[in-house]
């Protein structure tokens, strides 16, 4: 455009310098030509000023909003291409200077990666957890008492072990010819060729083509193919796929300036976000830790009272404490042993791995969903979708008041009228209530028993919650642990306690072993009981807990790793784990 302006200016200069000896008709022709070239020059100046108003923001908004009126203000796609100094047929100049200038002005066709966090960041973040601080204190005490009781050579095993454990290509037009380049080399102003199966590499405008249809489901969720043409819909978005036809497009936004890039930048990358389940599990962990501290303190008082009242004996059956006859060193060792036992209670009582297990599971689910081309904005969405069994979609327009209400519901294929709702089995009503409570991100609030119930969430969630609470008489405080879970927990706890107590009191006589082998048997049985519980927790309401287990490689990997580590600890880490080797029968 600047070249056209320069040519017009030169022409005006030559016309103004005409000889004075020309006759009158010739002077009139020169005057007319001068006016024509002046008009062209003024028009070129207007176009240059208009082109300068086309910046990255206006180009991105133009395509993002599919604003035809704004496009018409720019006098169409050809004028936008001219403003970007792009030849409609030959593309951009394509020189190194031209590419560098465009990248500096409009950015590159790449996406920013979040800065990586150091190991020190995660260590400091972990130290903010009260549970970790309690365990660290227990580890330090266990390390100190272990060294005091057994010496540095073997006394560091328990405390030290706790500390260790804590611790694709597109064609574009450049320089008048068609070239194959990487999508990451595309710049604003490039003319890109598209065909069936291609993924649109940048936001842009339709130049020319035939029967172009694109799949915008990744952007809008609509599965229908959208026709793109020069008259009604000339807008193309990065990330969409060409379903039919072929075309050439003008790139107007690349990289983080595209609609897809802006969406990606809005995705929360803060891993500190807690899902509802994680928040409730943290409360459970905190409560369990407090109970463990209380039990440990009670055990400490009882054990100290038993020791100092002479109710404890050593390995030979002799009374441990005999008043002034007992050596100070023996008293200190005994007290250290008692404190170490209570510290062990605290260590076992705090389920510090439970929130971590949930976080790892959600992160794994998020990775699997991303592999299936599902964009996960929040980690809690994986938790929500994990509880979904049926998804109902709706394609109607926005409601006038943006309010919804449940008017009918079906039990199987049978329509249940409002008057007949009381005839539905209470168990079915309970299942419906649990389904509503466990599959919503909304909330229900009532300040007092006589206040109106307040519902929050999307219109659909508020409608379902209102129906469940007001018409189905749902209790607004749904339990974290259901009756089925309580049944399994109590049965498993009873069986596990019965087995472990049997081994504790008569295990030596049953297997004919000494006390150390018996303790190893108890430890081994305890771990295997947990493995059994992991199988039993796969399907709470079904008898066959092994169904589909061969498809769950993550579960099999966890079980296999647990068993392998247990065998290694029992058979090879005798001093470190304080275990004895067992036979296959044991």
DSSP 12-64: HHHHHT--TT--HHHHHHHHHHHHHHHHHHHHHHHHHHHHHT--HHHHHHHHH
CA dihedral 244, 246, 250, 255 (to 10 degrees): 50
Q: Which of the residues 98, 394, 475, 519 is marked catalytic?
A: 394
Residues 6+ apart with CB under 8 A from 162: 135, 138, 139, 142, 143, 347
**What's the CA gap between 475 and 241, in Å, rounded?**
48
3-state SS, 57-97, equals HHHHHHHHCCCHHHHHHCCHHHHHHHHCCCECCCEECCCHH
Dist. CA 320–CA 43, nearest whole Å: 108
Beta-bridge mates of residue 206 = 249
What is the number of other CB atoms lying within 10 angstroms of the CB of residue 158? 23
As a whole number of angstroms, the distance between CA 186 and CA 253 comes to: 10
Distance CA 572, CA 574 (A): 6
534 vs 559: CA distance, rounded Å? 8
Which tokens go with 265? 């930048």
- Please check whether residue 105 is in contact with residue 56, taking contact to mean a CB–CB distance below 8 angstroms: yes
The structure tokens listed for 509 are 């006589």
Check residue 543 and report its DSSP letter. S
CA-based nearest residue to 265, from 110, 112, 417, 372:
112
Pull the structure tokens for residue 181: 């380049």
Using CA atoms, how far apart are residues 191 and 207, in angstroms rounded to an integer? 8
Is residue 135 within 8 Å of residue 347, measured between CB atoms?
A: yes
Three-state secondary-structure class, residue 245: strand
Which one, of 514, 517, 530, lies nearest residue 566 by Cα?
A: 530
Q: Tokens at residue 330, please?
A: 């023996």
Query: Do 205 and 227 touch, CB atoms closer than 8 A?
Result: no
Q: Is 314 assigned a catalytic role?
A: no
Strand, coil or helix: 213: strand
Please tell me the distance from the alpha carbon of residue 365 to that of residue 362, in angstroms, as a whole number. Answer: 5
Using CA atoms, how far apart are residues 163 and 67, in angstroms rounded to an integer?
61
Residues with catalytic roles: 394
């Amino acid at each position: 455009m600047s070249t056209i302006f320069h040519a017009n200016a030169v022409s005006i200069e030559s016309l103004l310098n005409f000889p004075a000896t020309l006759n009158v008709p010739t002077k009139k022709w020169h005057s007319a030509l001068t006016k024509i070239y002046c008009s062209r020059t003024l028009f070129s100046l207007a176009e240059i000023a208009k082109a300068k108003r086309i910046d990255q923001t206006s180009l991105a908004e133009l395509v993002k909003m599919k604003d035809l009126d704004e496009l018409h203000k720019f006098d169409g796609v050809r004028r936008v291409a001219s403003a970007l100094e792009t030849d409609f047929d030959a593309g951009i100049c394509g020189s190194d200077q031209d590419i560098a200038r465009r990248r500096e002005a409009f950015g590159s066709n790449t996406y920013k990666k979040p800065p990586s966090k150091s190991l020190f960041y995660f260590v400091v973040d972990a130290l903010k957890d009260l549970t970790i601080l309690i365990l660290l204190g227990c580890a330090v005490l266990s390390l100190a008492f272990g060294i005091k009781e057994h010496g540095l050579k073997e006394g560091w095993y328990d405390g030290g072990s706790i500390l260790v454990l804590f611790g694709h290509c597109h064609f574009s037009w450049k320089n008048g010819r068609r070239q194959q380049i990487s999508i990451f080399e595309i710049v604003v102003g490039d003319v890109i060729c598209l065909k069936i199966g291609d993924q649109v590499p940048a936001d842009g405008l339709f130049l020319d083509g035939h029967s172009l249809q694109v799949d915008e489901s990744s952007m809008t969720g609509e599965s229908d193919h959208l026709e793109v043409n020069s008259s009604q819909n000339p807008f193309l978005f990065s990330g969409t796929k060409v379903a039919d036809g072929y075309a050439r497009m003008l790139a107007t936004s690349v990289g983080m300036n595209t609609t897809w890039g802006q969406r990606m930048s809005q995705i929360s990358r803060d891993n500190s976000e807690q899902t509802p389940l994680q928040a409730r599990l943290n409360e459970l962990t905190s409560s369990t830790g407090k109970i463990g501290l209380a039990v440990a303190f009670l055990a400490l008082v009882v054990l100290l009272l038993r020791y100092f009242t002479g109710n404890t004996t050593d390995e030979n059956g002799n009374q441990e404490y005999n008043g002034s006859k007992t050596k100070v060193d023996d008293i200190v060792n005994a007290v250290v042993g008692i404190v170490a036992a209570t510290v062990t209670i605290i260590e076992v009582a705090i389920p510090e791995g439970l929130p971590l297990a949930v976080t790892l599971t959600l992160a794994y689910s998020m990775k699997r969903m991303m592999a299936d081309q599902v964009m996960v904005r929040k980690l809690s969405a994986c938790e929500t979708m994990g509880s979904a069994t049926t998804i109902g979609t709706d394609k109607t327009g926005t409601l006038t008041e943006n309010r919804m209400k449940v008017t009918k519901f079906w039990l199987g294929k049978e329509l249940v009228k409002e008057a007949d709702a009381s005839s539905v089995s209470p168990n079915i009503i309970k299942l419906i209530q649990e389904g509503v409570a466990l599959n919503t991100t909304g909330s229900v609030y009532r300040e007092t028993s006589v206040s109106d119930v307040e519902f929050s969430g999307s219109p659909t969630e508020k409608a379902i919650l209102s129906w469940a609470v007001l018409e189905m008489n749902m209790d607004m405080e749904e339990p974290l642990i259901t009756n089925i879970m309580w049944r399994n927990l109590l049965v498993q706890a009873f069986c596990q306690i019965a087995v472990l107590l049997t081994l504790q009191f008569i295990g030596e006589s049953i297997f004919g072993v000494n006390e150390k082998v018996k303790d190893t048997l108890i430890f081994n049985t305890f771990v295997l009981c947990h493995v059994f519980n992991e199988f039993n927790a796969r399907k709470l309401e079904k008898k066959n807990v092994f169904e589909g287990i061969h498809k769950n490689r993550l579960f099999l990997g966890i079980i296999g790793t647990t068993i392998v580590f247990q065998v290694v600890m029992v058979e090879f880490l005798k001093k470190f784990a304080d275990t004895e080797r067992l036979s296959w029968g044991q």
